[in-house]
Amino acid sequence: MIESSGGRLPRWLPELSVAAALAVLPFVFARWLGSVDLFTRILIWGIFGLGFDLLFGFTGLLSFGQAAFYGTGGFVTGYLLTSGTLENVWLAMAIGIAAAMIFSVFVGVLALRRVGIYFAMITLAFGELSYFLENSPLAKFTGGENGMPGVPAPVFRLGRIEMSFAGSWPSYELVAAFFFAGFVLARFVVRSPVGAVLTAIRQNPERTAALGHDVRAYKLAVFVLAAGFAGCAGALLGIFQSYMPPGAFALDTSGQLVIQTIIGGAGTLVGSAVGAAVWLILRDVLQQVPGIGDLWKFILGLVFVVLVTLVPDGIVGTLARSHLRLGRGQRPRDIADSEAAGREALLAPFSAGVRPPAAGMPALEARHVTKSYGGIHAVAGVSLALPAGRFHAIIGPNGAGKSTFLRLLAREERADSGVIILNGKDIGAADATAAYQDGMAKSYQINQLFPQLTTRQNLRIGALGRHRGRLRLDVFRSADGFAEVEEIVAALLEELGLLACADLPVNTLAYGEKRRLELGLALASRPSVLLLDEPLAGLSPNEREGVKQLIRHLGKGRTIVLVEHDLDAVFQLAEQITVLHEGRKLAEGTASEISNDPLVREAYLGGAATP
Amino acid sequence: MPTLPQFLSQAFNGIALGSLLALISSGLTIILGTLGVLNFAHGAMFMLGAYTTFVVLGHWDSFAAALALGALVLLLVGLAAERGLIRFYYNRPPQDQILVTFGLGIMLVEAVHYVFGGLSQRVPLPHWGQGIVNLHFFVYPLYRVEVIGIVALLLFAFYLLLYRTRLGLVVRAGIEDPLMVELLGTNVRRMSMVVFAVGTMAAGIAGVIYAPLAAVIPDMGEPFLVECFVVIVIGGLGSFPGAVIGGIVVGEILSLTTLFDPAYAQAAIYAAMTVVLILRPRGLFGTMGRA
């Protein structure tokens, strides 16, 4: 992804460059490549690709069925105009785009139930479904295999001025205007908190959900947005050609879109248009070369395979990588001088929207929670009640069910039976996203980070989750434009000792730093209940001390459940300890009660009674 | 309303088509299950099988030779594709694997297009497949009956390979947990080669058998590829029984819907897929394994 913020490049440089290209390139095409029409065609693919890139390049959802929405937009617009239902071309286009988006809601709800390979297959199948529907049952509306001739061009009226967009240059102007508007919109989305969440989803969907973002809803939103772009491109195709070809719905259309986006560079927005230029120009040029004219598509296939294998960033992505140093110098923020007390207040448990438990009621309570896998009772009827502010540890030998129990508390898995109550509210039916929104966060035994985002961006994803709620489509805000979120992130960076690597991608961090960031992600929502799954795992003795200090310091005022194998640390930190053994609660008490309990000794030492 | 003989004859067509889909899909599904690669070039492999038949029958008047050579050619193509290209993708994201096989498919289709042209080629029925057979209720083309028999034999052989040999045991274990199989010291490199080649061969043999029934054109594999996706979504990813049952189900839906209104035949299989996705997202026989 090309990031041009950071003070090195003007914020609007991409928009200005695209505007300049749209002003100059048509003359290049008209002079050397026959006609401006070729460039118009490239831009129509480019508009189609802007949406697809948001879906694939940014969110990581590879759809092979975009033709369904391209065709829907084109044919609905075309039908309204050629059947005489509507005369206003703009209105017909709007309805065509809306139809494509409505269709995509239906497809998206089904296809987004699955990820990866399945998602690609299901979208492809729906693309084919719409091709067959267009071709036979709906042929009386669409013209079937003959397509739909006579789609009119729009007319722009303003007072006395009247301007028709029919003909080569006027239709170029129309398409270029749409491309520019689409590009600006897509840039807004990319820079917005929505764009930040979409990028997070591509890198780690599970953690994004655990940080309070409704992953399914965001995916559906970007899927529908991509369909809107596709519908717009389809409608423009019909208008530009005065004819809507039946092949708009074909698998080839979806495939060509995918290929062009990869060649140009996914995640660059303009990559799709660049790829379309490569495809269409190569086709025109190769077809005129005697002897290999018939092989043009084979050569394009070969180029595509070579590019996917050797240059996965595509043309634009590779150029951007070599010319813009992506590890950019961030504008310095004045955090170092913020007072420690101020930071503490910033990071204190956030209580808006969370009803505090009634006096004497536990902050977190589990009643007879049970979970089995096949015949194995991982957690068998465990109960636990933690008053607000309690630091509670769960220990037990390997396989005792500690981590499973923590997963059940965090709602990552559903218990077979039992009740879980958070701040007086039964969260048995809630998912991890809802649990986070209710003020409970978890740090994981194995780091669950966003490896290609910077440390700051990682923490921002966590803080935004609580700040913006499960889903908000604030595409015209900037992701770093929430003052309070930025303050929290800055305070966390300072507290975690990660200021030096604040603007480095996380995959370049050392293990100890990642471990602290993992803890920081859970704290970014300022939770009132914190679940820690082996926060000390894999750390050196020195790093352990540091993390213990952090937990003690940042855990102040929170209810904490700690699962940890380092018993010395547990005895130092925890006020109350529960011992699990084979899924059951074996003992509960203070550190000294537990360390003197004969049952516990037996469980740990396998019956050896001597200490 | 269709008459009973019409219905039975279409139901029979459904089995003939479904058994071919089952054969192609079982190749696709074991490649997907074991290697994690969704092979978008699988339809092109089917097409290569049909073209091999066309070429072989142009030289010798022996359908058996076409079957043997078709199997051999596609086995070699599968080996070459796996060693030359696919193996570099095992550790890359599933998207990349889809993209590269998609590109490979285009190259194969375009290469055939260049050599043979875009016009459809006819492949004659084998002499032992000409004529019709009287099944009391209705008469039916002999070759289609034989197709069902041949494919049933091949699927049985496939079953024996997967469930009665050491290699099959390793392959099935690989579908459950590929990493564990590698950790247990299996030669994964060899297994990957064999699985990809055998899966490709299954598509190729289906192409040989199907060639006399259809127009042989370069992009004949595309609709089959998409139908096979529907089959494995319905049957369950990586599941051999799922591919067989799913293939028959999809074949029957296509044929029986055609009986009432051909325009909706394709739509009907996607409707069936949608129902399965809503009620049982992992498919009829799918395990959770890979997703």
pLDDT digits (tens, 9 = 90+) for A318-373: 888 776 554 444 444 444 445 666 777 777 777 555 555 666 678 899 999 999 88
Select the more confidently predicted residue: A376 or B22: B22
Q: Which chain B residues touch A305 with a CB distance below 8 Å?
A: 85, 100, 103-104, 107
Phi and psi torsions of A341, nearest 5°: -65, -40
Domain count, chain B: 1
pLDDT digits (tens, 9 = 90+) for A551-570: 988 888 899 999 998 888 99
Across the interface, whether the CB atoms of B277 and A110 are under 8 A apart is answered yes
Strand ranges in A136-239 using DSSP code E only, listed in sequence order: 148-149, 155-158, 161-164
Q: Is residue B178 part of a domain?
A: yes
Q: What is the pLDDT of residue A4?
A: 44
List CB contacts of A474: < 8 A, sequence separation 6 or more.
Answer: A192, A193, A194, A468
Q: What is the mean pLDDT of residues A152-174?
A: 85
What is the CB-side half-sphere exposure of residue A558 using CA atoms within 13 A?
Answer: 28
**Quick count: other Cβ atoms within 10 Å of Cβ A90?**
11
Q: Is residue B281 part of a domain?
A: no
| Res A183 pLDDT > 90 | yes
Q: Are β-strands A529-533 and A376-386 bridged in parallel, bridged antiparallel, or unpaired?
A: unpaired
Q: Is A287 on the interface with B (CB under 8 A)?
A: no
Interface test mutation site (partner B, options A58, A103, A124, A132, max chain B beta carbons within 10 A): A132
Of the candidates B96, B100, B107, the beta carbon closest to that of A298 is on B107
Q: What is the pLDDT of residue B246?
A: 95
List CB contacts of A160: < 8 A, sequence separation 6 or more.
Answer: none
The C-alpha atoms of residue A259 and residue A281 are separated, in whole angstroms, by 14
B275 → chain A, closest CA residue: A110
Q: Is residue B193 part of a domain?
A: yes
Interface test mutation site (partner B, options A123, A308, A373, A413, max chain B beta carbons within 10 A): A308
Q: Is residue B41 part of a domain?
A: yes
- What is the C-alpha end-to-end distance of chain A, expressed in Å? 58
Across the interface, whether the CB atoms of A110 and B102 are under 8 A apart is answered no
Q: What is the pLDDT of residue B189?
A: 80
Q: What is the pLDDT of residue A424?
A: 82
pLDDT digits (tens, 9 = 90+) for A496-509: 989 999 999 999 99
Q: What is the pLDDT of residue A359?
A: 63
Q: What is the mean pLDDT of residues A88-104?
A: 96
List the single range of A20-34, A94-108, A435-449, B129-143 with lowest mean pLDDT.
B129-143
3-class state of residue A228 by DSSP = helix
3-state SS track over A517-544: HHHHHHHCCCCCEEEEECCCCCCCHHHH
Q: What is the pLDDT of residue A348?
A: 76
The C-alpha atoms of residue A60 and residue B257 are separated, in whole angstroms, by 37
Q: Is A172 on the interface with B (CB under 8 A)?
A: no
The C-alpha atoms of residue B81 and residue B64 are separated, in whole angstroms, by 26
Q: What is the pLDDT of residue A327?
A: 43
Percentage helix, strand, coil for chain B under 3-state DSSP, each rounded to 5: 75, 5, 20
Select the more confidently predicted residue: A426 or A44: A44
Q: What is the mean pLDDT of residues A152-156?
A: 84
Across the interface, whether the CB atoms of A129 and B98 are under 8 A apart is answered no
Q: Is residue B237 part of a domain?
A: no
Domains of chain A with bracketed CATH: 13-323 (1.10.3470), 344-352+360-605 (3.40.50.300)
Q: What is the pLDDT of residue A340?
A: 67
What is the CB-side half-sphere exposure of residue A414 using CA atoms within 13 A?
Answer: 5
| Res A276 pLDDT > 70 | yes
CA distance B30 to chain A (A): 14
Q: Is A300 on the interface with B (CB under 8 A)?
A: yes
Of the candidates B32, B266, B278, the beta carbon closest to that of A132 is on B266
Across the interface, whether the CB atoms of A110 and B264 are under 8 A apart is answered no
3-state SS track over A354-378: CCCCCCCCCCEEEEEEEEEECCEEE
Q: Is residue B239 part of a domain?
A: no
3-state SS track over A251-267: HHHHHHHHHHHHHHCCC
The C-alpha atoms of residue A66 and residue A229 are separated, in whole angstroms, by 10
List the single range of A27-41, A152-166, B68-82, B253-267 with lowest mean pLDDT.
A152-166
| Res A376 pLDDT > 90 | no
> Bridge-partner residues for B252, per DSSP?
none
Q: What is the mean pLDDT of residues A574-587?
A: 90
Q: A377-380: which pairs have CB atoms within 8 A and are 24 or more residues apart?
A: A377/A582, A377/A583, A378/A404, A378/A583, A379/A404, A379/A405, A379/A408, A379/A415, A379/A580, A379/A583, A380/A582, A380/A583, A380/A584
The DSSP 8-state label assigned to residue B87 in this structure reads G
pLDDT digits (tens, 9 = 90+) for A190-249: 999 999 999 999 999 999 999 999 999 999 999 999 999 999 999 999 999 999 998 889
- Helices (H) then strands (E): counts for chain A: 24, 14
Q: Is B278 on the interface with A (CB under 8 A)?
A: yes
Of the candidates B88, B98, B264, the beta carbon closest to that of A117 is on B98
Mean pLDDT of chain A: 87
Across the interface, whether the CB atoms of A137 and B114 are under 8 A apart is answered no
Q: Is B86 on the interface with A (CB under 8 A)?
A: no
A62: nearest Cα among B61, B93, B175 = B93
- Where in the sequence is the domain holding B209, given as residue range(s)? 4-220
- Residue indicated by tokens 């044919």: A75
Q: Is A590 on the interface with B (CB under 8 A)?
A: no
Phi and psi torsions of A308, nearest 5°: -60, -40
Q: Which residues of chain B have pLDDT under 50?
A: 288-291
Chain A / chain B CB contacts < 8 angstroms: 105
Q: B138 exposed, middle or buried (CB, 10 Å; 0-12, 13-18, 19+)?
A: middle
Cα torsion angle, A123, A129, A132, A136, sign: negative
Q: What percent of chain A has pLDDT over 70?
A: 92
Q: Is residue B240 part of a domain?
A: no
Q: Which two tokens stand for residue A259?
A: 């290929």
Q: Is B275 on the interface with A (CB under 8 A)?
A: no
Q: Is residue B251 part of a domain?
A: no
Q: B279 exposed, middle or buried (CB, 10 Å; 0-12, 13-18, 19+)?
A: exposed
Of the candidates B107, B266, B291, the beta carbon closest to that of A115 is on B291
Q: What is the pLDDT of residue A503?
A: 92
A116 → chain B, closest CA residue: B94
Q: What is the mean pLDDT of residues A481-509?
A: 91
Query: Taking phi first (over 0 means left), then psi (-120 to 50 degrees means alpha), and beta for anything else, what does residue A580 get?
Result: beta
The C-alpha atoms of residue B258 and residue B252 are separated, in whole angstroms, by 10
Q: Which two tokens stand for residue A410?
A: 């965090």
Interface test mutation site (partner B, options A298, A300, A307, max chain B beta carbons within 10 A): A298
The C-alpha atoms of residue A313 and residue A267 are separated, in whole angstroms, by 9
Q: What is the pLDDT of residue A556?
A: 83
